[in-house]
Structure 1
Amino acid sequence: MAFSAKASLATAIGRSSYWFLHTFLKGGSSLPGQIANRIDPQVLRTLGQNYDVIVVTGTNGKTLTTSLIVKVLKKKYKEVLTNPTGSNMLQGITTAFLAQPKRGHGRGIAVLEVDEANVAPVAAQLKPKAFVLTNIFRDQMDRYGEFYTTYQKILDGVTRDPEAMVIANGDAPIFSSRKLPNPVTYYGFELTANGDHKAPPNTDGVLCPVCQHILHYHAQTYANLGNYFCPHCGFKRPALTHQITEVTQMTPQSSDFMIDDQPCHIDIGGMYNIYNALAAFAVGRAFGVTPTEISQAFAYDEKVFGRQEVIQLGKKKLTLILVKNPVGLNQVLSMIETAKQPFGFAMLLNANYADGIDTSWIWDGNFEELVASQKAASYLVGGERYKDIGLRLTVAGVPEKALVSKPALDDVISTLKRSQQDQLYVLATYTAMLQLRKKLSDGGYIKAGF
């Protein structure tokens, strides 16, 4: 398919704006795509015509899963196009293609993180070869509603092309609840599975998605993920093609585990990140990368911005972690509670569109467990909604005299630098994370951009 006059104009102006923004203004991850789409709303169809596209979507883990898949596929492909900034809506994905030089002959491969509500419009233009589904939890309910609504938004894109393969988290009940026309491969945890218990009552997706009775589990990992079954209608976890067979060690900084009996290591902590690695492993195998090559790709230590990104703040080691919903927040809290030494804890809360304007999700966070663990030696709150998170921590049991409030990020940084703890964990919502990184970049602590 040749470029139309409109697509050629949109591409030329989009690439010029990308060059200008990155040459003189330190970046721009969505504006070039926004400009190009205004000129030609179908420009992405033309830009992506010579690519096999893998879409990564779901509530949590999209950015790291995408990054890991890119590392894995580079064992087979010389170049892999991706959107590393996390700008995952239509305009950001268009920018990712504009940033690439024009392809010559032959097909390329693209691994794209895609916002759940943007799967359908992206799929309509790019005709993906594969969809990777990580999980679905309550998130930004002002945008998505309940998670069944979110799943339907994803399915609207997936089912457009029945030939596209689906690589889905088999431990998430919702992903096997509906028969798809697509070929489906499932991944999950195959650990000790001889129990019969229920998830806590306030867990997302506690009901069977087929008959609405309470789900039971032989084994759970976290939230509603695990080896589930319904004693009422017989709905159960599907057979897994790729599985975690053993978790050998987890710390706040690293994880060691076995996938299909292949030893793997990633320099990032948390059970939820083992799921991300498992998804990347499943994609790699589907595209012909060997287990040994995948393990080697995982061993390459490169943090994704804002996802357990370690920043040297003077003599302090600051670990910056994105949080945006209760499930992800609780996984992060569980992870940092495994630290062997006391640490400084901070949380920055914003409520902009990209964060989700409803901050009530913080009340589902297990801050009480953090306080009870006595691992946090100091507490700091900041961001535009610092009063909200300050109140939440006070209710969780943080003494008023131990809680420091710093609305301004400059004050947050200076306070962290004076901390008595060498290890600092800073949890932040999306726009707060970007704002903090900008301040740290201006101060010379990190490089500009992503």
Structure 2
Amino acid sequence: MEIKNEYLRDLYRRVEKRDPNEPEFLQAVGEVLQSLAPVADRRPDLIDWGVFERIVEPERMITFRVSWVDDQGKVQVNRGYRVQYNSAIGPYKGGLRLHPSVNASIIKFLGFEQTFKNSLTGLPMGGAKGGSDFDPKGKSDMEIMRFCQSFMTELYRHIGEDTDVPAGDIGVGAREIGYLFGQYKRIRNTFTGVLTGKGLTYGGSLARTEATGYGLLYFLREMLQKMKHEPVAGKTAVISGSGNVAIYACEKSQQLGMKVVAMSDSAGYVYDEKGIDLAVVKQIKEVERGRIKAYAERVPGAVYTEGCKGIWTIPCDVALPCATQNELDLAGAEALVAHGVMAVCEGANMPTTPDAAEFFQKNGVLFAPGKASNAGGVSVSGLEMSQNSMRYSWTFEEVDRKLEEIMKGIFHAAYTAAEEYGCSGDLIAGANIAGFLKVAESMKAQGIAY
């Protein structure tokens, strides 16, 4: 990682020294500081105001114990987190993740990225993230309910509709949001828009389920049209993952005339040369909560392969990594480029390793970073907050239309910032610069608290 500006290079060394055991957070900070070198060169006022130093340190990090009772009556203990990273442009906003891998480094990395992602949407939302090392897989509904209630019994005192509005993330879907919201309402005796991703019967937004996947394709379409003068129709795509983002990225891909030939889960991937039958995937994943392996057992001609990495060896025009961080490494990037990939658009949070992203850019592949291309989910979360504040609901078509405009706006903000700061075509730098500048100007305007 080469940070060309001496001041930012020194700042990164200080972050390394302060947080030596947080590799995910350091990776995210390094990538952003690398992109911000031309900003530091051009804007010494932001150095004088300590904006760079402040942006690499969260405003608040909350860690707490979550005790709950399993179905056998045994007490279980997990660790809960909420990082309220930056509130310069609005109340904290970001998802809750339930997964055994959750730790302070991952939560800080996600909150840091969320700050710039939320800025790019143009909506008044600060950055946050939270979650727990609790694993919902294999747990009964009652166990998940008891965990969520215990988690919210601590979290409620730190959040609110004008303070911090959590949402879902990995392991937190409609069921979990419902349990969390019910506990918040029970404790506070108030019905507010304190969580997004709620059910439609109690304040949720239409199109929220589809938002991240749909938004990813709206970004891809705008990127291909502007930078390659190519339509999305007729292209072949590979999508990693088979959760919410991947499913609805597949759905919108097919609606726009693309053929998706592969999807995966944490155990392996399926390849269907004729094109993925999304109805089968939805049945397996959304109804049965099963493994993607079952797809090959039900669809003639489909092939299942154990392990996830091999999915990137499948020839495609477009690759959409939608699973988890650092899933697409240099070997995967080399395989994709060898097979003529045209564009890679991130649907997950930082799913591509830095060396892989650099390899794509050096080989003329369009590369869209997740903080820009997967911002559809938080965009509709912001629209859900607006609807809750108005005590009103928009139609699916209205929300979808607003989502499309937001995603197009995000692409053009990143594209324009890259051109203005001397890195034309580099959407990683462009997204980082555009997202940072809005937050930085707000931080400077609001002064420094001594």
TM-score (norm 2): 0.36
Structure ranking higher on relative contact order (CA contacts 8 Å, 6+ apart): 2
Higher strand share: 1
